[in-house]
Amino acid sequence: MEPDPATPVASTSIRVRYKDTDCMKVVYYGNYLTYFEVGRVEFLRRQGLAMSDVDQRVHLPVVEALVRFRKPARLDDLLEVRCWVSERKRASFRFAYEILNEAGESVATGSTLHACQDPATSALVAVPSWLRERMPVVPSN
């Protein structure tokens, strides 16, 4: 897929599955990080970078994660996960996320901070130029 730097915010849909919910049929809080992961993998794909290819060239460990819960998501809800790069430094970058329900209401927001690691040596490295150029920054509000 060709990169699309003109669209720096990726959006993908997720249907809440039974396994994602607690006994009240509300999404269990830890699953929002999985939804964030789906969003960032889709962001990279839309920038022409399949995660399987990225992972062979550089590892992107999460070094910080933040989730703010706004409204419960429930079983069978269709959620829109929006993801973009909100900050980029020499050796790290931050993905920002917003999850919306079908009514367009914010269910959760958050971010993950990622370092860059050489897969062969496990040494931390600067964000590679091939990755940097495919990650336009959209500052968060």
Domains of the chain, CATH where assigned = 10-132 (3.10.129.10)
User: Confidence class of residue 1 from pLDDT cuts 50, 70 and 90?
Assistant: very low
Band of residue 5 on the pLDDT scale cut at 50, 70, 90? low
Question: Which has more pLDDT, 134 or 2?
Answer: 134
Q: Mapped to the 3 state alphabet, what secondary structure does 69-138 carry?
A: ECCCCECCCEEEEEEEEEEECCCEEEEEEEEECCCCCEEEEEEEEEECECCCCCCECCCCHHHHCCCCEC
Look up residue 47 and give its DSSP letter: T
Mean pLDDT, all residues of the chain: 94
Section 115-140 average pLDDT:
94
Say whether pLDDT at 7 is over 80: no
Q: Are 93 and 85 in contact (CB under 8 A)?
A: yes
Return the higher-pLDDT residue of 85 and 3.
Answer: 85
* pLDDT tens per residue across span 61-92: 999 999 999 999 999 999 999 999 999 999 99
Rounded-to-integer distance, Cα 85 and Cα 68, Å: 17
